[in-house]
Amino acid sequence: MVPREKTTGLHVGEATPGCKKVDPIIVADNVRRSFGGVHAVDVDHVEIPRGAITALIGPNGAGKTTFFNLLTGFDTPDEGKWSFNDRSLAGVPAFKVARRGLVRTFQLTKALGLLTVLENMKLGATEQRGERFFTSLFPAAWRSQDKEIEERARELLVRFKLDAKVDDYAASLSGGQRKLLEMARALMSNPTLVMLDEPMAGVNPALTQSLLDHILDLKEQGMTVLFVEHDMHMVRHIADWVVVMAEGKIVAEGDPSTVMSDPAVIDAYLGAHQDVDLGVVTGRVAGDGADADASRHMIEEESNDELEREEKKR
């Protein structure tokens, strides 16, 4: 991976949980969500810095995906308030959140398999005149806009190296290609903030570098990125800022190097395996024998269990 310059100077004062940011794009206060008496999310205060890549990490069951769902309107909290670009998002449905410039991808891809890759892309564009009942009756009213949407879709497919698949059904794509398609489709709405839920989950190693480069490109194009990821070696390399959740709470914040050495993070995330290098645990760095194998097996089992739980929910 070619090193790219990290964004620094994102916070004011000491880097503690809930610390103030110089220019926050999201601010959340007292956001809580419970399921059957279990507090899945219990966030007192957190700010996401603008123009940076922020990683949201934590063990399985920490509440990361639930927090994503709350911020983007896919779930409703028991209490709390949060804003995006200084506008409240409390009670705003997901489709309106996307129109405001906050889009997300899912851990389990949402490509529509019976539509072509190009058709999936065109669905990502907002404010399409042809989607309104009255104007849909008059093709002249929406044909020029539809042409512009298709041109943008094709440009993005070229950038994401999916142009050869433009007329293929989305169901024929590999898992990694569907991840690329979902990320490309999210950009059809020209978002300000892109939220990625485990973008590397289930991706063939051959496509990993491509996905990482695209995430870094988003920041260079002026967007803010917030992503959930279990691969700590990847987090260390691309994240400017890291927020750590455990048992629904924000337990640590800071730059990757500082957070990775925080005893509270090591205890919450790795538990008994805290003596193993994080890169070894994720399989990105060579380690020695039994400890490395056992640690990788532990993380793989946790990731597989989480995928199975999400699949059952859907």
pLDDT in tens, 142-162: 888 889 989 999 999 999 989
pTM: 0.80
25-34, 137-146, 259-268, range with greatest mean pLDDT: 25-34
Instruction: Assess whether pLDDT exceeds 50 at residue 68.
Output: yes
pLDDT in tens, 161-213: 899 999 999 999 988 888 889 999 999 989 999 999 988 887 777 778 888 88
Among 67-76, 182-191, 266-275, the minimum mean pLDDT is found in 266-275
Q: Which pLDDT score is estimated for 166? A: 94
Q: Which CATH number fits domain 24-111+189-265: 3.40.50.300, 3.40.190.10, 3.40.50.720, 3.40.830.10?
A: 3.40.50.300
Apex CA 299: angle with CA 297 and CA 303, to 5°? 115
Q: Where in the chain is the domain with CATH 3.40.50.300?
A: 24-111+189-265
Nearest to 9 by CA among 225, 254, 234: 254
Instruction: Assess whether pLDDT exceeds 60 at residue 35.
Output: yes
Q: Which residues pair with 79 in a beta bridge?
A: 32
Nearest to 52 by CA among 25, 72, 77, 79: 25
Sorted by sequence, the CB contacts under 8 Å of residue 136 that are 6+ apart come out as: 130, 142
